[in-house]
Structure 1
């Protein structure tokens, strides 16, 4: 039974690391003491140790212990034995490359299908989709595959941004880039705005947070879904 939270971000404006999610995480991780942290996305290129310290500070406020997967001699066994898993944000290319290098895609997928609780933020949420192809990150490394965990039957675009009326920026909007993606791919894409997350319990997928999400289906006009809405029919 899948038990997953896929959040757009770890931090929203004016709050500390994971602070806006604390009420949700206290319930989600109620019976969990130790969480395995995957720091591979390395935001800003920080070290695995430094990133793990940040995660530990965030989770200490709800009484949870964090251990970085990089401290284990056998990361596959660490995944298999984990009470719960948290994958932080950063660069999705770096994350997926390291997961493949350590042969962790299948073990994580198996663990999640078997009920290990999982939290992802940003890049850590991106990898829950069918592929990582709708990330906003720069391809600074080249993973052997763009396929990811496939915990949901669509792709994600965390940190989704709407066009700003009157803005003089002439580059592509997120909507334009996702439409380009649909010229070559057919799976839906869910644009998660800051402070929003998806809660997956078995096959039930629910949007949470204060904001709507924007859904892109190939060949259809994009549309908004309200918080509390189910995405079970999105395929």
Structure 2
């Protein structure tokens, strides 16, 4: 049986539900809920079953909502940038791929849906804009991307899609920066005067995606 704290954390990640809303619905103090989510075992059986009943109901509702969205086969997905929650189908299709939108004050990247098991774990694709990465990635070509959960797993010289705190994305080779807690973004275009390396502090980076492949046909 899954721990109630893990269930609570996963439900909040999937639904973007804030803890005060859950506290209001269950009558359990939000401070208590935060402790349970962090691993503290419930000391009140009554409160435990209150939260269990709430999650039983809300998880079923969330699963039904997700199923209905998936049935519509939306062309785009919303990927949370500040959590590890799953990609969510964008049912209205209003925001274009590569756009960062806000849902419940949480930033989400819009990506095109992609079904290519041969590529391994891929969360979606976006279009490359501009010629800074030619001849590797041409303007208008597409790249498959996956969220990078840990900045320490960056491999120097590999390709990444980096989103800064102004919610602008850029595809570059990434290397350790010359300054502490920074990275250097390098273009492939031979004209380095027009496309010079960019140094960015990690505190100005909102999210990093690993580039899994270039998609010639999409």
TM-score band w.r.t. shorter chain:
under 0.3
* Larger relative contact order (Cα-Cα within 8 Å, sequence gap ≥ 6): 1
Give the TM-score of the pair, scaled to structure 1: 0.25
Query: Which has the larger share of strand?
Result: 2
The structure that has the greater radius of gyration is 2
